[in-house]
């Protein structure tokens, strides 16, 4: 069965790798918040405010995609990245 696992992938190993990646992303996020001195809940409040403003100016909706607003570390700088679909053609 070893070659079948290698061919199709072992779901247990894939789940472990996915968990590791999720944990790594969360740790990076926490470290970014800490380095930027962002208090808990501030990013969520900012996300809600941004979405409210976008909805006010684009009442047709933000598209079918879930808006993504994240804080990330870029070198020595902490940046806020917003990826919000405001309409489709």
> pLDDT tens digit string along 5-51?
666 666 777 778 888 888 887 887 777 777 777 777 887 788 788 88
Tokens 């900012």 belong to which residue? 46
Predicted confidence band of residue 86 (pLDDT cuts 50, 70, 90): confident
Please report which confidence band the pLDDT of residue 77 belongs to, taking 50, 70 and 90 as the band edges.
Answer: confident
* Local structure of 80: helix, strand or coil: strand
What is the distance between the alpha carbons of residues 57 and 16, in angstroms, rounded to a whole number?
A: 43
Cα dihedral 33, 35, 37, 41 in deg (nearest 10): 10
Domain range annotation of the chain: 2-83
Separation of CA 41 from chain center = 15
Residue in 42, 45, 52 with CA at minimum distance from that of residue 84: 52
């Amino acid at each position: 069965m070893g070659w079948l696992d290698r061919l199709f992938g072992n779901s247990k190993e894939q789940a472990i790798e996915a968990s590791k990646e999720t944990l790594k992303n969360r740790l990076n996020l926490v470290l970014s918040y800490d380095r930027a001195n962002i208090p808990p809940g501030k990013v969520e409040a900012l996300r809600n405010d941004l979405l409210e403003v976008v909805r006010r100016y684009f009442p047709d909706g933000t598209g079918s995609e879930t808006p993504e607003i994240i804080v990330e570390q870029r070198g020595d700088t902490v940046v806020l990245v917003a990826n919000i679909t405001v309409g489709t053609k």
